[in-house]
Amino acid sequence: MRAQATLEFLILAALLLIMFLALLQVYFTRLNAGQDFQERLGAQRLVDDAGRHIDRVLQSGNSSRIQFQLPTLLPTGQAYTLVRIGRRLEIAWESKTVNSLLLTQAVSGSFTPGTLYNITNNNGGILIVPA
């Protein structure tokens, strides 16, 4: 009787341990995926926001101007770079990148995190200069 109880206990304990480890694995996988999603979402929103400012100045016509403040860090705390490549803005942090497409390629100027910018429409060309 005692031998049977011990054996069953061991099997049950092993099963529970396997379940617990599997759950732990799933938990950490999902935690990492969640953090990655949060980072990407924050970066995507930032680059989309910058792109939208450029697009809206373009649509508002000649001489329209808007100010745009770039945060020093991403919402999740990482340092980043923001560059324009042709018709898209690309934000990069650690080894990851996300893009936002632009409605024009007539854009001059560059972005530095933590800077306030004037974005101006100059006869359909977009100028980005620090305020």
Q: What are the residues binding another protein (CB under 8 A)?
A: 1-2, 4-6, 8-9, 11-12, 15, 19, 23, 26, 30, 41, 44, 48, 52, 55-56, 58-59, 61, 86-87, 101-106, 124-125
Query: How far apart are CB 35 and another protein at their closest, in Å?
Result: 13
CB of 130 to another protein, least distance (A): 23
Q: What is the SS3 assignment for 7-65?
A: HHHHHHHHHHHHHHHHHHHHHHHHHHHHHHHHHHHHHHHHHHHHHHHHHHHHHCCCCCE
Q: Which of 5, 95 has the CB closer to another protein?
A: 5
Nearer to another protein, 79 or 101 (CB): 101
Q: Give me the least distance between CB of 107 and another protein, in Å please.
A: 9
Contact between residue 90 and residue 97 where contact means Cβ atoms under 8 Å apart:
yes
**What is d(CA 78, CA 36) in angstroms, rounded to the nearest whole number?**
12
Write the CB contacts of 11 (distance below 8 Å, at least 6 apart in sequence): none
| C-beta closer to another protein: residue 98 or 117 | 98
In this structure, are residues 26 and 16 in contact, taking their beta carbons and an 8 Å threshold? Answer: no
Residue 6 vs 112, nearer CB to another protein: 6
Q: How far is the CB of 51 from another protein (least distance, A)?
A: 8
